[in-house]
Amino acid sequence: MDRKKSMLAETMILFLFALSKTSEEVNINTYKRYIYLYYLTSGFINNNSDDIEIIVEKGDIKIIEFESIISDFVLKEYIETEKNSIIIKKKLLDFVDALLRNKDGALIRRYKEIQPFVSLIQSYNDQFVFTVFFSEPTFREAPLRGVSEIHSANSKLAVLLKQFKSKVCDTRIDEYDILAYWMDYILRNYYNIGADGDAVEE
């Protein structure tokens, strides 16, 4: 397994471990969008330089190696797939839990980057994530520029968030506050939808 695929697989399994804290089942499309949004914001939140290759096709995305890694997880009996759902199995939880016991390891540091992102994005419903995904500027601009392949390292969203933070004087506002503000802004100003998915009264 090459380094890019290995790093993506690590991210994906840590996401599933974090998601399992609230549910052992996740919609596979929502999960893919979580991964996409994490990579497109990680340059802002964690100064993370990891890059994934994304193909834009028919108004959706294909993350290179995503399906292959899902198949690997199924073969290892970490997950089951059922229609559009991923069922997280105990074998995955035990495997990741054992790895995270090394408190000084690189994996625990990566999990500490992923877990707050998962907590933030899980606080919203799937329709919210769907809306934010289609409003993400890197994705939105790709078809307008006739681009079918994008890289997370060239995230326009990360640039936008950094520009916004540079104009904020209050040092108590952290990166997650700014990301949450952007997400709510998209819903309220473009779609007139509240974070709970209900229409917002004007």
Range of the domain at 122: 3-191
Q: What is the pLDDT of residue 178?
A: 86
**Does some domain include residue 169?**
yes
Number of domains into which the chain is organized: 1
Q: Does residue 188 contact residue 194 with C-beta atoms inside 8 Å?
A: yes
**Does some domain include residue 179?**
yes
Q: Which residues of the chain have pLDDT under 50?
A: 193-202
Q: Does residue 54 contact residue 61 with C-beta atoms inside 8 Å?
A: yes
Q: Does residue 176 contact residue 190 with C-beta atoms inside 8 Å?
A: no
pTM for this entry: 0.84
**Does some domain include residue 11?**
yes
**Does some domain include residue 172?**
yes
Q: Which helix (H) or strand (E) holds 133?
A: helix 126-135
Residues 29 and 18: their CA atoms lie apart, in Å, by: 17
**Does some domain include residue 201?**
no
Q: What is the pLDDT of residue 88?
A: 97
Residues 15 and 34: their CA atoms lie apart, in Å, by: 9
**Does some domain include residue 202?**
no
**Does some domain include residue 197?**
no
